[in-house]
Amino acid sequence: MKLNDDFDEEYDDPLSYNSGRKSSTATAAVIAVLFILTAVGIVILANNPAKKNPDARSGISAGTTPAAAAQWNPDPNATSVISGKTSTASDLDFWDAYPTKADPTLAPSSNAAPTPTPWGGMQEETAEDDKKLSVSEDGLHTRIMLADGSDEWVEINPYLSKNTYDPSGFVYRKPFKHYYENNTEKGFVGVDISKEEGFVDFDRLKDAGVDFVMIRLGQRGYSTGELSVDDCFVDNYRRAKEAELDVGVYFVTAAISNEEAREEADFCLQVLAENEAVINYPLALSTMQLGSGRSRTDELEKMPRTNCALTFMKAVENAGLFSLLYGDKATLIKKYSLGSMIGYDIWYSECSDLPDYPYQYVMWQYDKGAEVNGIAGGAHLNICFLDYTIR
């Protein structure tokens, strides 16, 4: 027997099915009962809301208005009755759960919602998003930001050692960053200082957790070319040693020839000797430009600039000290031939949550305005990944 909305009398009417046969009274009674039960079943099935409309399970049939729908609601106290929404599929929230792949040619949005980082700070994008944004999809180019605010994609040198630091290994415990590998701390906390910081309380720095300091020894005038000692160098060195901190120094170069670079190295070694200064961290060559005017090194080409740095660092190492080249990403990649400097350590500068530099470096300056006990103004914070005291 077919059960659908259109009844076929030839099969669904038991009387017509047995019209040519003579039945006993008992048989007729049985047939009558079966007819009644069948009719009741058909009525129930034909009026089942779930059969007519799959949505009827919720108590609302297709085309029912909000007012009429309330009659179907099994809970008279319920407030979840449909109220005539007009949203389309694209308006549904769950579409946001499936982000599209980041375009590596686009910079992070300045109004992007900040998200927590592994070390508890905040940043515009996650570490993985930062990587996508600063490294091309083919993994062969990295983006640098230029002084005028524009950016440029440059090829990554396949012959240089790559940055292998694990982003998840960085931990931020205000105000310092730490680095761990296999649950073992591999970094050392440092600050770099000059006369710009004024009086520094090195004992308080030590108590705050600082391991080493990089003290500015001197500079060459970026316009005059004159060599000079930082006004606070001697006092800073003496009191840092008294606080039992490890000490390194740096010199701000403005050399435009190999002869001037050698002169800068000799000058630094002489100042250290005259003050009986013994350092166990490097004598670094800083590329930072002092002042806001035009520098005498502005027009220096890449190879002459590289040769000046090599001349300085070779002289330092020949004197038995460690050398180090300081610079930010644009300076190091655009102004130096790093392939000619293989074997020399890099002190990388970038104020950010995570460093964005494709090549290996041993020290990272990550903040230039931190609040640290012992320094009144904004402190320059560093983390070093080598223990120079036992190297």
Q: Examine residue 126 and state whether it is found in any structural domain, yes or no.
A: no
- Shared-domain flag, residues 39 and 183: no
User: If we measure between CA atoms, which residue out of 238, 235, 268, 270 comes closest to residue 252?
Assistant: 268
Structural domain including 202 reads 160-384
Q: Examine residue 128 and state whether it is found in any structural domain, yes or no.
A: no
Q: Examine residue 139 and state whether it is found in any structural domain, yes or no.
A: no
Q: Examine residue 130 and state whether it is found in any structural domain, yes or no.
A: no
What single string gives the DSSP state of each residue in 186-201? --EEEEEE-GGG-SB-
Structure confidence at residue 232 (pLDDT): 98
- Shared-domain flag, residues 36 and 176: no
CATH classification at residue 169: 3.20.20.80
Q: Examine residue 338 and state whether it is found in any structural domain, yes or no.
A: yes
- Shared-domain flag, residues 52 and 176: no
- Shared-domain flag, residues 191 and 46: no
Last residue of a domain, one of 53, 69, 85: 69
Q: Residues of 366-380 as b/e, b for ≥16 C-beta within 10 angstroms?
A: bbeebebebbeeebb
Q: What is the dihedral of CA 362, 366, 372, 375, to 10 degrees?
A: 80
Structure confidence at residue 133 (pLDDT): 57
Structure confidence at residue 134 (pLDDT): 76
Over the chain (391 residues), the average pLDDT of each successive run of 10 is: 38 36 42 54 48 38 37 38 34 32 36 33 38 69 89 94 95 96 96 96 98 98 95 98 98 97 98 98 87 80 98 98 97 96 97 95 97 95 97 83
- CB contact set of 180 (below 8 Å; sequence gap of 6+): 169, 171, 186, 187
User: If we measure between CA atoms, which residue out of 194, 171, 301, 199 comes closest to residue 251?
Assistant: 194
Structure confidence at residue 147 (pLDDT): 80
* Number of structural domains in the chain: 2
- Shared-domain flag, residues 29 and 175: no
Q: Tokens for 341, please give them.
A: 């400097």
Please state, as a whole number, how many other Cβ atoms lie within 10 Å of the Cβ of residue 154.
Answer: 14
- Shared-domain flag, residues 179 and 294: yes
User: If we measure between CA atoms, which residue out of 268, 243, 271 comes closest to residue 255?
Assistant: 268
**pTM tops 0.75, yes or no:** no
Q: Examine residue 344 and state whether it is found in any structural domain, yes or no.
A: yes
Pairing relation of β-strands 212-220 and 227-229?
antiparallel
Structure confidence at residue 288 (pLDDT): 78
Q: Examine residue 328 and state whether it is found in any structural domain, yes or no.
A: yes
Structure confidence at residue 290 (pLDDT): 55
Structure confidence at residue 146 (pLDDT): 85
